[in-house]
Amino acid sequence: MLTALRKIHRRIDKVKLIIQKKDKDFYNKYCHLFKQLKEPRQRFIDKINLVLDNGTVKPIKFILVQHNLVLGPGKGALKFIKHVRLPKDAGKMSLQGVRDRVEKLILEEVEASATAMSLHHALYNVKLGGASNAIVLMDIEEIGRKIKIIPIHLTINETARLSREIGNRLVKYRIMGPDGFWPEPDGVTTDEQIINWVEDEALKTLLLKHLLAPKDKKLFDTLSIVRDQIEGKREVGGGDNDAMEILETPYHDAALIWLKEWRAIRRGETAMKELASKRSKVGKHYRQQILRTALKYWIRPSVVKDMIAVKRLLTVTHLPFRDYRPNGQIVVMDTGIAPVIMQKHLSRLNELSGEDVVVVSVLSKRLGGSSPKRIEQLCRIYVEAAYNLGAKVVLFCNTMDANARATLEKEFSIPILGPIMPAVEAMFRLENEKGVAIKNVGLVATKATIESGAYINEIRSQNKEARIFSIAAPLFATMVDMCEFDKSRSHVVSQRDMSIIEANLRPLMEENIDVLILGCTHYGVFEQAIHGIWKSCTGREIRIVDSSRELSSYILAYLRRNKILSLRMEEKGKISYVASEEDATRFERKVLEITGCNVNVVPIDIGEVVGRLSEEDRLFQETVAKESREDISLRAGIIDSNLSAEAKVAIAERLYGVKDKSVNQFNCEILSPELKDEHIKEITGLTTQNEELLNILSHIKNVTSQ
């Protein structure tokens, strides 16, 4: 038996076959985008712990799917699901197996509804995307050796609390809002009253969390008045009656006039009335279009409607900027202070002065030592956050680029750019300009970037013969984040840092390197220091490619080429800075040191910005944040210790260096400083003076035993 999702996918496949046979030019141009019509823009599953009237807590599943947003923000119905048909083979499955299967079926049902809404809006050219969301109000239990579905019946107060929590979460995760998704009643399981509670809490949250844009000043003023009135009543009444207030909708009622006008546009009522009118020119043109297409392709009108919708979606999706946010921002996502370094490079390009830039320090995490799977999972969260921050393009660091960009650019409609290709292109430009063949390439990068083989593959795509020598620098990024800047905004490289840089790069200096790629956005800070060290140790100059600087030039060319460069001539773009709450103060201080500007760093909980961040993702975020703090502390301990520079580098290599050398190819070699017995003796001899060194030594022993 075909599911609703499979049925709608078959409709899309049928249209694809017809276009392939009868409109080959269109098919050849857009065939690579058909896959996107079957994949939703966003799947979101979360758990709401609903407090019942008797004080107990009931976990409730919340599912949202936004299918396609190229025409506009998502629109779809909110459903309360209390019953589904159990799988035929439920009797042969475990209880958990049945629960998992049912959840998958419900998710597919919601996805089918969202896809149908996308086709519906595209058919009538309504400037909305397709979305759908559902609340699962049922338990699946085993009773008398039979698995049964037990509906969850809520009182009016419980329903109101649940509805309000939906509104709060949708806004908190930046899904719902004036420019985003807004749910509608399905008319069967949910009505206007339920939506009123959702909207009331959403409007209240938009106000309290300062998420309204200046263009919504009228709404902002209205909601501020309501808040003042509520606070006044509480002061006079001397209390807060939650039981009564939970059912009232003061924010919604006060904003109803504004909402009616806005929701009429959001629901597509104006466009639908125009199409339905027999006197309407638009309606007449639409009916003639269906008739002409049916005769041209000799197909039924129902298939014609799907064809019109699919063609419209593919045509818009093909445009360079494929999401509905027309005045998007460049969102720079990186760890520690690296995004500020990137923003400084962008600010030096006059043609980018009109661009809005959001600089996001992603919780000061060290990604370079993480596994590819973990990096991809984190980056998926970051791109979703960038989308919700209004991105028109996202800039990744080298580690993100190497391990996640290729996958995520297939999942998201936002262009994602990284520094690896620009850096390699710059290297070969250097070769052409100087007229000197590059035979030996040096790469200094993070463990994860080197192990990915991304730089090797990119270099090999342009030069099959060059020898490539790679070395990991586990301490460099932490050293940059710890560094100080002088009054001229220049980085102060201490003698300690100079010694570590020299010890780390010595294996590369022993090779006849023609050009050195700084394969981490942090490392450009050390460019001048590396020039000096290289000259001092080898007697030769070294040509250096800074991947961060090359990415800034590349983004300008990309925006210009795709016609999404800001057209502001006189007005400068806005620069916004974002970091986690725990890092905001320190990040603010570093921005001042680097740029000379007093800025307000917005402290965020990434979970409140990311639409797809489910309960599982949030636990994952917390785990990574904890591990990152410990990791950064350990690296800082190595840097600050009284060990020799050689011992520091060798220890860092043992803890954070490249373990998987399978990326080695012909003429490629991964170099690594050796952890010698003398280094262990050195650290052992100092442990009595320093507890941090004891911690470092225990980590070395753990890694060695593994």
**Res. 326 pLDDT band, cuts 50 70 90:** very low
pLDDT score at 274: 67
Q: For residues 424 and 430, give the distance between their C-alpha atoms in angstroms, rounded to a whole number.
A: 10
> Is the fold of 40-266 the same as that of 329-418+553-618?
yes
CA dihedral sign of residues 590, 595, 596, 602:
negative
Q: What tens digit of pLDDT does each residue of 180-223 get? A: 788 999 999 999 999 999 999 999 998 887 777 666 778 888 89
Q: For residues 613 and 617, give the distance between their C-alpha atoms in angstroms, rounded to a whole number.
A: 5
Task: Quote the tokens at residue 656.
Answer: 């954070």
In this structure, of 502-516, 533-547, 628-642, the range with the lowest mean pLDDT score is: 628-642
Give the residue, 607 or 258, on which the prediction is more confident. 258
25: Cβ contacts below 8 Å, ≥ 6 apart: none
Task: Report domain extents, the chain.
Answer: 40-266, 329-418+553-618
- Please give the average per-residue pLDDT across 654-673, as a whole number: 78
Q: How many CB atoms lie within 10 A of CB 127?
A: 13
Quick one: how far is CA 312 from the chain centroid?
Answer: 27
- Topology (CATH) of 329-418+553-618: Rossmann fold (3.40.50)
637: Cβ contacts below 8 Å, ≥ 6 apart: 692, 693, 695, 696
Spatial CA neighbour of 297 closest among 13, 7, 21, 10: 21
pLDDT score at 335: 86
Q: For residues 200 and 212, give the distance between their C-alpha atoms in angstroms, rounded to a whole number.
A: 15
**Would you give the DSSP letter of residue 410?**
H
pTM of the model: 0.63
DSSP output for 115-141: HHHHHHHHHTT-S-EEEEEEEE-EEEE
Give the residue, 324 or 91, on which the prediction is more confident. 91
3-state SS assignment for residue 443: strand
Q: For residues 414 and 562, give the distance between their C-alpha atoms in angstroms, rounded to a whole number.
A: 13
pLDDT score at 549: 94
Q: For residues 697 and 346, give the distance between their C-alpha atoms in angstroms, rounded to a whole number.
A: 42
Q: What tens digit of pLDDT does each residue of 419-467 get? A: 999 999 999 888 777 667 788 999 999 999 999 999 999 999 888 888 9
Give the residue, 79 or 437, on which the prediction is more confident. 79
**Res. 363 pLDDT band, cuts 50 70 90:** low
Residue located via tokens 């011992």:
647
pLDDT score at 438: 85
Strand runs (DSSP E) across 572-662, as ranges?
575-580, 601-604
Q: With b meaning 16 or more CB within 10 Å and e meaning fewer, what string describes 568-590?
A: eeeeebebbbbbbeebbebbbeb
Mean pLDDT, rounded, of the chain: 84
pLDDT score at 212: 74
pLDDT score at 583: 82
CB 602 within 8 A of CB 359: no
- Topology (CATH) of 40-266: Rossmann fold (3.40.50)
pLDDT score at 421: 96
Task: Quote the tokens at residue 352.
Answer: 């980018």
Q: For residues 651 and 638, give the distance between their C-alpha atoms in angstroms, rounded to a whole number.
A: 8
Residue located via tokens 């030592």:
369
3-state SS assignment for residue 67: strand
Q: Which element (helix H / strand E) includes 536?
A: helix 527-538
pLDDT score at 150: 94
Residue located via tokens 């490539």:
468
Residue type (1 letter), 378: L
CB 465 within 8 A of CB 667: yes
- Please give the average per-residue pLDDT across 1-19, as a whole number: 91
CB 351 within 8 A of CB 572: no
In this structure, of 50-64, 229-243, 346-360, the range with the lowest mean pLDDT score is: 229-243
